[in-house]
A and B are shown apart, each in its own frame.
Chain A
């Protein structure tokens, strides 16, 4: 099977269970969103898929080949993390040319074009870059890597609104021209929500949702209105979470609304991805 197969992966750090029996399949040429609170296990999962960390148990295979320690297989995956893997004294341009040695498909010309578009000074030392530009530097490496699998861990950390927007547009452009599997973990959910095709939600080291975005959003709705009406309305429904401001109550409900069943005075709308995520985390319906 093409794609990345994660099978029963468990990872502990001391007494902390970072990943617990995680299994999932990343299909080719799809954009995934990996959502989870801080400490949920997102970075650990990325590190294991890209062989920066060993799993205690379980297995990763990439395009049907076992990944662990096989360079040719691991060369298919590029992970952009929060850390810089180059010597701090190295200059940006040198880091680009060095990347070409490690990653045969690395597109040096494209990296230089992107650096110019983002106004990243390539003669600067990596350690002298600001937080935002350090992120941009790592983003450019990721976008130029041309691997079939791209893992982006908090890609827009420290970027201002204009640079974030530039990045999203570049990512879509890149994906349109050379479709690859892209997994994005981010806390800025609203900004990427429409880019994602498939959603993975991780909580306390376990995958709690693994569904196409449209299906996830069609599978829940938000209803708001007077508390008494809402309380009656949600009685026989599966509620993800409820929220109250004075007499006004809002509930996020699983399933699809039956229009004929909605009493006057209640407002129904689609739940957006961020609201859904927050509801799920607040609702306590996932462990």
Chain B
């Protein structure tokens, strides 16, 4: 679970994404405890309030929940929720920017479709 902060998004969002990735790839499974606010803050040299803000984003999405006096845990069904969320935003996050870049390069829709087809085939081999 490593993270290299960039300037694209606020740090608390990057913390949320990092934790989400960790849940999605199975580093933290459902009902697992995640690191404490202090552990996260110390590990990434960030303000504890920032770590809390990132964690709260995932609590609001129902991916994490708090056990009083114990800490934060991965909610049941979290992985499936992330899967659904990413599927929903796939068009906006990947297809739109790809088409924007394709336009700048003068690649038309048919060529792009052909490339996608080729990509699937290459991946299968």
Which residues on A are within 8 Å of B, measured CB to CB?
A: 31, 165, 168-169, 172-173, 175-177, 191, 194-197, 214, 217-218, 222, 264-265, 269-272
Contacts and interface: CB of A to CB of B under 8 A. Distances in A.
Contact of B47 (A194, A265, A272): A194
B44 interface: yes
Contacts of B100: 264
B42 A31 contact: no
A172 B38 CA distance: 8
Interface string B105-120: 0000000000000000
Contacts of A191: 45
Interface residues of B, number: 21
For the residues of B in contact with A, the DSSP-based class is helix
A218 B10 contact: yes
Given A217-B10, A270-B7, A176 B46 contact: no
Interface in B1-60: 5, 7-12, 37-38, 41-42, 44-50
Nearest to B11: A194
B7 A271 contact: yes
B121 interface: no
Contact of A194 (B8, B37, B46): B46
B104 interface: yes
A194 B9 contact: no
B61 to A, nearest CB: 20
B48 A176 contact: yes
A197 B46 CA distance: 10
Contact of A172 (B7, B12, B41, B104): B41
Contact of A168 (B12, B45, B103, B104): B45
Contacts of A175: 48
Contacts of A270: 7-10
B7 A173 contact: no
B45 A172 contact: yes
A197 B8 CA distance: 19
Contacts of B38: 172-173, 176-177
A176 B49 CA distance: 10
Nearest to A196: B47
B7 A194 contact: no
A189 to B, nearest CB: 13
Contacts of B42: 169, 172-173, 176
Contacts of B49: 197
B7 to A, nearest CB: 5
A197 B9 contact: no
Contacts of B104: 264-265
B8 to A, nearest CB: 6
B10 A176 contact: no
Nearest to B38: A176
Nearest to A264: B104
Contact of A269 (B5, B7, B41): B7
